[in-house]
């Protein structure tokens, strides 16, 4: 049910003038009277957002830690949603931060309590965050594990019987299930929901119906927003509802990460064994011999393609590995495309015979259409960027067919709605050209306000000069002083190497990926553990006061030397100054920003630099809030 605007409108004033008055009343008077600190920086940011709503413009709102950015964008967003009759969308950095935004004691909770304001806020999580009943049923048949029993008791009676049906089956409902276990039962890209016979009882369907009815706020990850953008046209062509409804405005919280969400969404993937699984499901009794022979031929051709692909991969330690595309690889790829085309013709006959279940053949057709498209792009001579990586334990060929800047400019920022980027790190020395260029944004408004905190009083920064092989020993020594500690790594590989070097000590430390991340953060905040290691929590983590008193940055977060960033480097006149250094400096600022979140916070930043990394000290110093202390190890 649509709710009323939280202030009175009059004939004498426009909505935006009245919105400005209300923002002033709330931030100058109502909230301070009820115990919240009045912050000039927060008030300035809220008025700048009001101006962006009025002009329907793109706004880069860079505000330091402690400004109160969330409340600054929530107030105008809620009012604007009610004024336009469409919800405002808030796109967070990742799935973990969605839950943090709506947790009890968070900013939305505070506004509801202090302003007696009922806010209709609903979560729209990425599809892989939901249980897939089809995959769960398969897992029960072929896999073992206590996690399957845990899922079984959580499924409502109405799914398989006549009981009540309510939204269920999201990743955060299963905190003790590991990421690896979850990957066996969650939605994945080959599932074809539109032909699934139990889609109307699926948790994902129920959640989607729920969030589409929101009148105030829809909160999702940037990954899911970009998946919505990437699939919107194709879903509409197939008479499917887009993943997200039309919205009045978009706020990108931790907006500097949107580029990476876009890169992830705009890729096409070919996995090593997936096609084998898909085709095996079609090989049932009664299928015509010609069809069976083509499916077996395609499986063999695909296997040959991946064998040659492995031979053509340029060996490196990076997660994304370059491919040198030999003549043999391209020849096999062309042969595979030819087989797929023949198989499509045979599927026409098979569908008329009703031997293969409709769901299975539709799923295979959809999968093979994407497979053929990816193969054509890969063997073509266009501007696509491609690489080999490991995805959920399976070798995956990833293809990015278009420049992200072009896609974003056309499909996102051409819309006549306000876009607000909120972050403590959007610029390099108040210059927003790097992020604007990366996102294909040509016209924008921007501002920068500093943090209100006196960092000299509450924070220390120590730079440890240590050889790479000695860094783990330095961390062990630091951990002898028991404090609530976050250790940040530039990559999963770096974290895994550190974990191996720790030996038995690793058993006392929580590592990202061991189980669902938000549950690890919750236990860490409740001091059930003292140390958490992560390669994703450079931004968005908000643990006040004694919940976090030390951040260890294990290595400088330069971008990887992989095909994706190599493509960006190729377009730069000076790759280091235009790509590598800005990326690293933004990441460093975000990582250090995890420590001081409120006026009662305190602690130290411990930065570990090897000999090569020490050459960047002068470049890093301008982003330090206090003068660092150099320590020779």
Q: Which two tokens stand for residue 137?
A: 């049923």
Query: How much is the average pLDDT of 222-231?
Result: 92
3-state secondary structure 386-421: EEEEEECCEEEEEEECCCHHHHHHHHCCCCCCCEEE
The 8-class DSSP code of residue 551 comes to: E
Query: How much is the average pLDDT of 559-584?
Result: 83
Q: Can you give the pLDDT at residue 161? A: 78
Question: Under DSSP, is residue 253 helix (H, G, I), strand (E, B) or coil?
Answer: strand
pLDDT tens-digit series, residues 279-305: 888 888 888 999 999 999 999 999 999
Residue at 206 is within a domain: no
Query: How much is the average pLDDT of 199-208?
Result: 88
Residue 167 predicted with pLDDT over 80: yes
402 pLDDT band (50/70/90 cuts)? low
243 plus 370 within the same structural domain: no
501 pLDDT band (50/70/90 cuts)? very high
Q: Can you give the pLDDT at residue 357? A: 81
Q: Domain boundary residue among 163, 196, 229?
A: 196
1 pLDDT band (50/70/90 cuts)? low
Phi, psi of 338, rounded to the nearest 5 degrees = -60, -40
Residue 201 predicted with pLDDT over 90: no
Residue at 201 is within a domain: no
Using alpha carbons, list the distances in angstroms from residue 594 to 60, 305, 368, 527, 631.
21, 45, 44, 17, 22
Residue 392 predicted with pLDDT over 80: no
Q: Can you give the pLDDT at residue 437? A: 87
Phi-psi domain of 567 (left: phi exceeds 0; alpha: psi -120 through 50; beta: other): alpha
Residue at 245 is within a domain: yes
pLDDT tens-digit series, residues 48-77: 999 999 999 999 999 987 788 999 999 999
Question: Under DSSP, is residue 191 helix (H, G, I), strand (E, B) or coil?
Answer: coil
Residue at 205 is within a domain: no
465 plus 391 within the same structural domain: no
553 vs 567, higher pLDDT: 553
Residue 350 predicted with pLDDT over 70: yes
Q: Are 579 and 560 in contact (CB under 8 A)?
A: no
Query: How much is the average pLDDT of 171-185?
Result: 89
192 plus 223 within the same structural domain: no
- List for the chain the helix, strand, coil content (%; round to 5): 50, 15, 35
248 pLDDT band (50/70/90 cuts)? very high
Residue at 31 is within a domain: yes
Q: Can you give the pLDDT at residue 92? A: 92
For residue 346, give its domain range. 269-400
pLDDT tens-digit series, residues 516-528: 888 898 899 999 9
User: What whole-number distance in Å separates Cα of residue 326 and Cα of residue 172?
Assistant: 44
Q: Can you give the pLDDT at residue 497? A: 94
495 plus 422 within the same structural domain: no
Q: 40-55 and 69-84 helices cross at what angle (nearest 10)?
A: 30
User: What whole-number distance in Å separates Cα of residue 64 and Cα of residue 447?
Assistant: 11
> How much of the chain exceeds pLDDT 90, in percent?
51
Residue 95 predicted with pLDDT over 90: no
Q: Can you give the pLDDT at residue 498? A: 95
Q: What is the mean pLDDT of the chain?
A: 89
Query: How much is the average pLDDT of 118-133?
Result: 92
Q: Are 82 and 5 in contact (CB under 8 A)?
A: yes
Using alpha carbons, list the distances in angstroms from residue 626 to 535, 553, 605, 610, 618.
24, 16, 10, 21, 14
Query: How much is the average pLDDT of 346-360?
Result: 83
575 plus 481 within the same structural domain: yes
- Number of residues that this document lists for the chain: 633
289 plus 223 within the same structural domain: no
Using alpha carbons, list the distances in angstroms from residue 115 to 5, 50, 60, 101.
13, 19, 28, 18
Considering only 267-281, 297-311, 493-507, which range has the smallest mean pLDDT? 267-281
Phi-psi domain of 393 (left: phi exceeds 0; alpha: psi -120 through 50; beta: other): left
Residue 342 predicted with pLDDT over 80: yes
**CA-based nearest residue to 276, from 255, 305, 248:** 305
Residue at 202 is within a domain: no
Of the ranges 115-124, 194-203, 346-355, 393-402, the best mean pLDDT one = 115-124
461 plus 408 within the same structural domain: no
462 pLDDT band (50/70/90 cuts)? very high
pLDDT tens-digit series, residues 15-29: 999 999 999 999 999
284 plus 257 within the same structural domain: no
260 plus 406 within the same structural domain: yes
CATH code of the domain containing 487: 3.40.50.300
User: What whole-number distance in Å separates Cα of residue 433 and Cα of residue 340?
Assistant: 45
Q: Can you give the pLDDT at residue 389? A: 87
Query: How much is the average pLDDT of 596-608?
Result: 90
169 plus 82 within the same structural domain: no
User: 594 exposed, middle or buried (CB, 10 Å; 0-12, 13-18, 19+)?
Assistant: buried
* Domain count across the chain: 4
What is the CB-side half-sphere exposure of residue 95 using CA atoms within 13 A? 15
Residue 32 predicted with pLDDT over 90: yes
86 plus 134 within the same structural domain: no
What's the pTM value of the predicted model, to 2 decimals? 0.76
Residue at 207 is within a domain: no
186 plus 93 within the same structural domain: no
Q: Domain boundary residue among 413, 433, 452?
A: 452
Residue at 414 is within a domain: yes
Considering only 465-474, 492-501, 572-581, which range has the smallest mean pLDDT? 572-581
What lies within 8 Å, CB to CB, of 609 at 6+ separation is 463, 464, 465, 466, 556, 616, 617
């Amino acid at each position: 049910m649509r709710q009323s605007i939280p202030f009175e409108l009059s004939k004498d004033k426009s909505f935006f003038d009245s919105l400005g008055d209300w923002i002033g009343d709330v931030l100058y008077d109502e909230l301070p009277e009820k115990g919240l600190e009045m912050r000039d920086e927060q008030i300035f940011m809220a008025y700048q957002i009001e101006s962006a709503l009025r002009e329907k413009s793109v706004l880069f709102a860079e505000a330091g830690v402690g400004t109160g950015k969330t409340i600054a964008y929530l107030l105008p967003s809620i009012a604007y949603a009610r004024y336009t009759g469409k919800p405002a969308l808030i796109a967070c950095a990742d799935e973990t931060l969605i839950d943090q935004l709506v947790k009890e004691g968070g900013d939305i909770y505070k506004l509801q309590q202090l302003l007696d304001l009922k806010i209709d806020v609903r979560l729209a999580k990425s599809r892989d965050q939901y249980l897939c009943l089809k995959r769960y049923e398969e897992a029960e048949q072929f896999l073992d594990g206590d996690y399957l029993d845990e899922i079984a008791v959580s499924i409502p009676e109405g799914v398989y019987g006549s009981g009540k049906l309510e939204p269920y089956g999201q990743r955060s409902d299963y905190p003790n299930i590991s990421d690896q276990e979850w990957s066996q039962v969650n939605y994945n890209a080959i599932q074809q929901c539109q032909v699934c016979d139990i889609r109307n009882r699926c948790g994902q369907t129920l959640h989607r119906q729920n969030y589409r009815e929101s009148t105030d706020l829809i909160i999702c990850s940037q990954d899911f927003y970009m998946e919505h953008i990437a699939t919107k046209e194709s879903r509409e062509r197939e008479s499917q509802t887009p993943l997200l409804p039309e919205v009045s405005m978009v706020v990108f919280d931790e907006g500097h990460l949107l580029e990476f969400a876009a890169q992830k969404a705009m890729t096409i993937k070919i996995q090593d064994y997936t096609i084998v699984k898909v085709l095996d499901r079609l090989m049932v009794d009664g299928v015509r011999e010609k069809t069976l022979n083509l499916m077996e031929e395609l499986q063999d051709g695909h296997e040959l393609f991946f064998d040659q692909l492995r031979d053509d991969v340029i060996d490196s330690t990076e997660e994304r590995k370059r491919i040198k595309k030999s003549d043999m690889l391209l020849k096999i790829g062309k042969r595979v495309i030819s087989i797929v085309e023949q198989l499509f013709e045979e599927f026409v006959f098979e569908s008329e015979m009703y031997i293969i279940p409709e769901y299975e053949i539709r799923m295979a057709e959809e999968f093979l259409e994407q497979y053929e498209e990816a193969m054509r792009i890969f063997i073509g001579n266009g501007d696509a960027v491609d690489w080999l990586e490991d995805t959920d334990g399976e070798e995956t060929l990833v293809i990015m067919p278009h420049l992200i800047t072009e896609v974003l400019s056309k499909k996102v920022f051409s819309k006549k709605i306000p876009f607000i980027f909120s972050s403590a790190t959007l610029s390099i020395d108040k210059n927003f050209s790097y992020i604007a260029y990366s996102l294909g944004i040509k016209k924008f408004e921007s501002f920068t306000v500093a943090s209100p905190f006196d960092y000299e009083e509450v924070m220390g920064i120590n730079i440890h000069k240590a050889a790479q092989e000695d860094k783990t020993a330095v961390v062990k020594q630091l951990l002898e002083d028991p404090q609530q500690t976050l250790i940040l790594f530039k990559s999963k590989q770096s974290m895994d190497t550190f974990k191996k070097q720790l030996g038995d000590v690793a058993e006392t430390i929580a590592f990202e990926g061991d189980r669902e991340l938000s549950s690890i953060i919750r236990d860490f905040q409740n001091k059930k553990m003292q140390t958490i290691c992560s390669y994703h929590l450079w931004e968005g983590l908000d643990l006040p006061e004694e919940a976090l008193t030390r951040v260890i940055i294990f290595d400088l977060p330069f971008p990887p030397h992989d095909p994706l960033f190599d493509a960006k480097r190729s377009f730069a006149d000076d790759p280091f100054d235009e790509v590598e250094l800005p990326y690293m400096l933004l990441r460093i600022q975000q990582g250090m920003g995890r420590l001081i979140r409120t006026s009662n916070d305190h602690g130290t930043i411990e930065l570990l630099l090897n000999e090569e990394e020490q050459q960047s000290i002068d470049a890093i110093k301008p982003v330090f809030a206090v003068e660092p202390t150099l320590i020779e190890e």
